[in-house]
Structure 1
Amino acid sequence: MTAKERIFNFIKKYKHAWVFLYALIYMPWFMYLEKHITVHSEYHVIHSALDNKIPFVEYFIVPYLLWFVFIAVVFLYFFFTDVNGFYKLAKLSFIGMTIFLVVSTLFPNGVALRPIVFPRDNIFTDMVKMLYMADTPTNVFPSLHVFNSLAACIAIYESRELRKHKLLSMSAFILAGLIILATMFLKQHSVIDVMGAFLMAYTLYQFVYAAERKKAPNVSEQRV
């Protein structure tokens, strides 16, 4: 088989990669929001009385940053092993992310929860300081950290193959739980942001997964 044929077969096998073109829509839109909705502009401050009762815990920076690896690994797993599962995950995630962009555009929002003085000085607080510098406290509702973690968990739970590996699945769910807690303990998000993400994930689940199951309950998963 020639190199040209191998490339052709690879493209044919993984033609569903076109889905990632969504990044060409999401990234410019998100960067625009990050540039124009800042601490120096007017936005709606999202706050709950419960936020005041949640302490700042810098150690949660570890699962918070692991979110990037978690989401990437889940997407790549379905991309290479389960085309149908990949399309469902992408559909759920990208619809939610688009809703987030629309909400942030029409309802500029942010939080004012970050501590001015850190209670401790260690490597973890240094990592949090770097996070605060890189990420603005705006465009927070609903929390994408929470929503995409829930989307990944839903995809894992709905996968017949991954359901066989209970330890792996449970580990993913625990990590997702820690990531969700991290958004609040690092003062990146309000409880309201988290609740909004849960509500959005539950609602979209009904259209992406539950509705399809009702239409074709016996349809087998498509494998690569």
Structure 2
Amino acid sequence: MNIWKKTGKLLKKYSHAWVFLYVLIYMPWFTWLEHRTGVRYTMVHSPLDPYIPFVEYFVVPYLLWFFFISATGLYFFFTEKQSFYRLAAFTITGMTLFLIICTFFPNGQNLRPASFDHQNLFTQLVQIIYATDTPTNVLPSLHVYNSLGAAIAIAHSSRLKKHRAVRTGAYILTALIILSTVFLKQHSATDVFAAFAIALLVYPLVYVLQEKKVPKLMKQPV
């Protein structure tokens, strides 16, 4: 009986885990976008792109994105339910808009270098990324958008206000991740600007308006 009671308490405490079910919508949709055929892609380009050099060392912050997003999401999941819901609302809204944009506006880029001037561990990691990630469905950059979402959530966190080093480190990592998308030629500068534009649209809905009128979902006890 104690086991069932403990299980019930855990389910009640972490009832907000239902948010992770979004992966059941996102992954099939994204997989379909990546593998659909007979589609004419619009190549995304910016006048700034030719002036941005390829720098393989940015593969480090680019890969750290996966840890950064996961760690931020799990931190708020276990510590701040309201912050978790806001982060989830921000990221899910942006990711859904990304899916819709790529569905009706198939896009890609042809910025990747055909070869590297030299071979090292960093270029090898870039080659792995190129081999596993197609240069399609790039607008807006989710690397940029989700990094902004994590940084915004950290900035609004009441628990992290006293931890200046953590906040500063998160902001620096966010900036490096954003830069990595263009220095690795994974994205055009246009993809970056588009991610910022969507973030500016979503931010007031998730944070500014919610601070004035907190929805019932946010009022659930932590």
TM-score, structure 1 as length reference:
0.94
Match runs of 1:10-159 below 5 Å: 10-36=10-36, 41-159=39-157
Contact 2:19 2:88 in 1 (8 A): yes
Contact 2:112 2:185 in 1 (8 A): yes
Contact 2:39 2:106 in 1 (8 A): no
Provide Cα deviations, 1:167-194, integer angstroms capped at 9, x if missing partner. Answer: 1000011001100000000000000000
**Cα separation, 2, equivalents of 1:182 and 1:191:** 11
Change (3 A) 1:139 1:77: same
Alignment partner, residue 160 of structure 1: 158
Which of these residues, 199, 205, 208, is aligned with residue 207 of structure 1?
205
* Two-structure CA RMSD over aligned residues (Å): 1.6
**Cα separation, 2, equivalents of 1:75 and 1:88:** 11
Contact 1:147 1:198 in 2 (8 A): yes
**Cα separation, 2, equivalents of 1:11 and 1:221:** 17
SS in 1 for 2:45: coil
- Runs of 4+ deviating beyond 6 Å: 220-223
**Residue identity opposite 2:3 in structure 1:** A
Change (3 A) 1:159 1:223: farther
**Cα separation, 2, equivalents of 1:223 and 1:117:** 54
Provide Cα deviations, 1:10-37, integer angstroms capped at 9, x if missing partner. Answer: 1111000001100000000000001116
Contact 1:47 1:111 in 2 (8 A): yes
Alignment partner, residue 4 of structure 2: 4
State how many pairs are aligned.
219
**Cα separation, 1, equivalents of 2:14 and 2:207:** 23
Percent same amino acid among aligned pairs? 54
Contact 1:96 1:201 in 2 (8 A): yes
**Cα separation, 1, equivalents of 2:134 and 2:86:** 30
SS in 1 for 2:138: coil
Alignment partner, residue 188 of structure 2: 190
SS in 1 for 2:48: helix
Change (3 A) 1:41 1:120: farther
Provide Cα deviations, 1:107-127, integer angstroms capped at 9, x if missing partner. Answer: 000110000011221010000
Contact 1:85 1:221 in 2 (8 A): no
**Residue identity opposite 1:35 in structure 2:** H
SS in 2 for 1:49: coil
Gaps spanning 5+ residues in structure 1: where?
A: none
Change (3 A) 1:131 1:182: same
**Cα separation, 2, equivalents of 1:74 and 1:117:** 35
Contact 1:82 1:222 in 2 (8 A): no
Gaps spanning 5+ residues in structure 2: where?
A: none
Deviation at 1:139, TM superposition (A): 0.3
**Cα separation, 1, equivalents of 2:179 and 2:99:** 23
